[in-house]
A and B are shown apart, each in its own frame.
Chain A
């Protein structure tokens, strides 16, 4: 058990010396007393229905006074066995499973799944599709971080940033809806392309959002970044060194807050991310405050990528010209024998991937999101595995909170930015 130092002033109105500091100084007991033999540990249960656990997460905490002695996360309440279900579905049907995993950034999951299947099949998507997917993924990175920002602010005790960020999220919901017809369960991608081209005016809507969100971020940063309550609650809380963060499998903003500049977009680039001009923000101390700062900066960098992607968005088809994977138009299927056969084969059999396997990591909003597809040549995968970033990030929480105060558990949990749909799958 770590001993905590407590500083307190003897007088509420101390006499100030010439240097404007209390003349008597602070009374600082060096350490708390050893817990006596009669001290009692208390078992406290947080969740699974608790507003600060961000979903159906249950934390069993053993406390000595207010200090956490042991933390035991208990997950699985939302288990839907998506990985088993996927073995009974064709590749395009799996897309609908992906956005139910991370409902905070559904488009990233949609894209990651089809990117893995396309790599396995050796399909190169069209340039317009590539840029549109980059836009979709960066849009949802901001979308997910905005939810994190709102709930983070609530957990720290500030309500206003929550309203600001959810107002911006509403705009992304509208963009989702105008593109896919759904606000959360987007299912926007198909193997070889997208479900449809984006509607007219959609890129302009994204650009408008990208301009607006920066102003909101400025306002929220003005409220939070130098707020002394916020600093006191987050600085030095839940710190982890870069070496430990790698060993414990942290990824995404959590890893970068510990000073490790590992970003899948830079280190294992896909979709020409190396040609976009953006920075990877890294932290120094690896505590909650650094994780906050890294995410705030990441949203601004995503806005930069959005602008560059919108500038280079080319015209042209979004689907590859490959009758094996892309459905022919209805007119062709009705009038042309060959198209009808392709249509029939795709609907009845599904798209067949060659035997083999593929692990495709993308930088999700929570961390390294890896899609591992194993095929035996049939239309359904033998094994479909998601490397869940939140799952691995959450497994670190006992290390982060043991020895901290009970109130810090809430901040550490908020700083990890987990989504239980993906942890339980």
Chain B
């Protein structure tokens, strides 16, 4: 099965009449071409606001600098004229190749009924950004998911570990474009690794309650460190190089 088709394969045959004019996207009368947050953002943060795009007719996207993203998001949340108090979603987009991975924040202001999308572009070799859990608690699991599936590390996240994939998953970050659909390891390799697993590697001595004998508990569930050394490839996907697909 040739399911490793990368997005470059999309450059297929252009048929007549298949192009769609993006500017003719559904634009009801009176839709706002401008967003009331764009100008204040530019005035306040200047160079940190990289560019502004409108997509699908009425969706405003602001690209900001990675270094100042936390500051900008904090202002958007706390400024009384902005009040983006609801963080709908945190996700990431990988366009493949060497193009940067985008971290996407979907903001919504419940009092003003206004949406805004903030994007931060991170180069593939330096996937690190400030966590926004201190602003919105809803970012906790969403950022863990982005870390799990894309490998973006969030600084100062209270509990950054895998969430959907198992904690000892060694094949890397599945939603990256360089990750093949069927995984990096062959079925035989997956079986071999599963058989080699030792339950003791995943337990840590912990004291549950004062004055109690320490007992073995699964470290990945309680945020401790393993008894034995944890496999390095669970973190960065480096260990995936030793085994080809």
Query: A residues near B, CB below 8 A?
Result: 37-43, 60, 62, 64, 72, 74-76, 79, 81, 83-85, 88, 118-124, 244, 246-249, 251, 260, 262, 267-268, 323-324, 341, 345, 349, 352-359, 361, 368, 370, 372, 374, 376-380, 382-383, 385, 387, 391-392, 394-396, 399, 424-425
Contact = CB atoms under 8 A, between A and B. Distances in A.
Contacts of B19: 352, 354
Interface in B131-165: 136-142, 145, 149, 163-165
Contacts of B142: 249, 391-392
Contacts, number: 175
Contacts of A40: 208-209, 212
Contacts of B106: 359, 370, 372, 387
Contacts of A74: 221
Contact of B12 (A38, A39, A118, A379): A379
Interface of B: 3, 5, 7, 10-13, 15, 17-22, 24-26, 55-57, 59, 61, 85-89, 91, 93-96, 104, 106, 110, 113, 115, 117, 136-142, 145, 149, 163-166, 174-175, 179, 181, 208-212, 215, 217-218, 221-222
B174 A120 contact: no
B117 A359 contact: yes
A119 B56 contact: yes
A379 B20 CA distance: 12
A391 B149 CA distance: 15
Contact of A356 (B26, B55, B113, B140): B55
Interface of B is mostly: loop
A136 to B, nearest CB: 21
A76 B138 contact: no
A387 B165 contact: no
Contact of A324 (B11, B20, B22, B211): B20
Contacts of B7: 376, 378, 380, 382
Contacts of B93: 357, 374, 382-383
A27 B149 CA distance: 56
Nearest to B16: A341
A119 B15 contact: no
B78 to A, nearest CB: 12
A122 B25 contact: yes
A39 B20 contact: no
16 contacts: A39-B210, A39-B211, A40-B208, A41-B212, A72-B222, A84-B174, A122-B25, A246-B110, A249-B86, A249-B88, A353-B20, A359-B89, A372-B89, A374-B93, A387-B89, A424-B164
